[in-house]
Chain A
Amino acid sequence: MVTADIRNLADEEVMQLVGDGDPRAFELFYDRHGGAAFSLAYRMVGDRVMAEDISQEAFLSIWRSRMRYDPARGSVRTWVLGIVHNRTIDALRRGAVHERRREQFDGIEERHEARERTDVEAARREEARSVRSALETLPAEQRRTIELAYFGGFSHSQIAELLDEPIGTIKGRMRLGLDKLRDQLADFAAGEFA
C-alpha cells in the first residue's frame, strides 16, 4: 500500500524512486497514470483485454528499464502516454486488429466509463472535453486524418489507401491539422495539465 509520506511527492520525485526500484513508488506511479494509459490503449484497440496487455507491457518496461524518464521530454504523464501510444501502434501493426478496426472505426463506443471519484478525475474529464472541442474546430478531413493516424495507428500510406487520396495530401493534412490544433491549444499547452 502506498504510504502518506510518498503520496505527496511530485511525479518527477516519484519517478526517481521508481528508478531506484521502489515498488511502493511504482504503485503510486500506476495509481496516478494507469487509468489514462489504459484509456488511451482502449481507445486505440477497442478491446479491454488487449488494452490491459498493452498497458501491462508498457508499465513493466518502465519498471524494468529504470531511470529513463527525462524531465526535458515533458511531464511524466506525457511521457507515459507516449510509451503506451508507441506500444499500441506496434501491437496494431503486428496483429489483425487493424482489419477489425478498419470496419469499426466510425462506431467506437466508450463503455465502462470511469467514475468521477476525485477532483483530479473531474479535471481530466474537463481537460478531455477541451481537447475534443479543439479537435472539432478542425476541417473534417484534417480531423479524420489525425484520428486515423494517432488513434487508429494507421500509417500515412494506409490512410491514403483508406480515403483514396494521394499520400502527399494526407501528409499535408496531418501537418496543417497539427498546426491549427497547436493554435487552438496554445493556452492549454502553456499551462500543461498535471
Chain B
Amino acid sequence: MSTGDHATHRDEVGAYLLGALSDAERAAFEGHLVDCAECRTEVERLRPAADLLPRSVEQVEPPPTLKRSLMEVVEREARERDGAPATQRRTPLGERLRRALGGSLRPALAGAAVVLAVAIGFGIGQLGGGDEGRTVVAQTTLPDASGSLKVHDDDTGTLEVRGMPSLSGDRVYQAWVQRDGMIEPEPTFEVGADGSGVVAVPEDLSDAQAVMVTREPRGGARAPSEKPILTVTL
C-alpha cells in the first residue's frame, strides 16, 4: 500500500458510506480496507451517522398491493418447497443448525457457533441432494492448493478445497461472497491433515460475482483481513 493510495482512499470514506462511489471505486476502496486498519477504523467511526440518514425520511404509506404481491410469491414458494419431492426437498438451514447444535439457537450463539457448525457439520452429500448443479474451478495463490465450487440447483454452493496448509489453533479459513461490490462474510472452516476441506455457502449465488477464502481468527471476521488466497469467479 503506497502513501498516495492511502491518502486517496482516506478521502473517500464519506463517499463510500454514502454510496457515492462507482462500482469500480467501491471495489478498490474495499480492497484497500483489507490492508488499512486506519481506514477501517474511520469507516466504523462514521458508519453510525450514515446509518441514521434513512431514519430522517418522512414515513409514507406503502400501497397495499406491495404486501399482497410479496406474500403471494412468498407463500407460493413456501408451498412449492414443502410440496417438492423428497429427493429435492431441503430442510431449512436453521432447522439443520438446531439439530446439529442439539437445541434452540439463540441469537447470541448465532455467530461463531453457526458458522463453525455449517463448516464442520455438513458435507457435500448432505447439501447437494443429488442435484445436477455446475462446478467452477477456483484460482489460488497457494502453490499446492486447489479448489472448486459446486453451485447447486437452488443456487446455494459447496466449496471443496484440497492441498491447503493446516492453520494454527487460533486461525481458521473463512469463505466470503462478493456481490454488488460488497463482500459478505460466510462460514469459517478447517481442513484435515491431508489439506482437504468442505464448506457450505448457504447463500443465493445467482447474482454473486465471486466466492473467496481468507485466513481469519477462530470465530470468523466481519471483513476480510487479507487478500483472498482462493477465489472462484462466477
Task: Give chain B's interface residues, CB within 8 Å of chain A.
Answer: 11-15, 17-22, 45-46, 48-63, 65-67, 69-71, 73-75, 77-78, 81, 92-95, 105, 107, 110-111, 180, 182, 184-185, 202-204, 222
| Interface pair A181/B49, CB less than 8 Å apart | yes
Q: Which chain A residue shows the least CB distance to B42?
A: A175
| Interface pair A182/B74, CB less than 8 Å apart | no
B contacts with A: majority SS:
helix
| Interface pair A19/B92, CB less than 8 Å apart | yes
| Interface pair B204/A150, CB less than 8 Å apart | no
8 Å CB interface, A5-58 against B: 10, 12-13, 16-17, 19-23, 26-27, 30-31, 34-36, 38-40, 42-43, 48, 52, 55-56
Give Cα A126–Cα B210 distance, bound, in whole angstroms: 42
Contacting residue for A128 out of B57, B78, B110, CB 8 A:
B57
| Interface pair B70/A56, CB less than 8 Å apart | yes
Task: Give chain A's interface residues, CB within 8 Å of chain B.
Answer: 10, 12-13, 16-17, 19-23, 26-27, 30-31, 34-36, 38-40, 42-43, 48, 52, 55-56, 59-61, 63-68, 70-74, 78, 81-82, 84-86, 89-90, 110-115, 121, 124-125, 127-128, 131-132, 134-135, 146, 149-151, 153-157, 159, 168, 170-179, 181-182, 185, 188-189, 193
7 contacting pairs across A/B (C-beta < 8 A): A16-B107, A59-B70, A67-B93, A72-B222, A113-B59, A128-B55, A172-B14
| Interface pair B57/A68, CB less than 8 Å apart | no
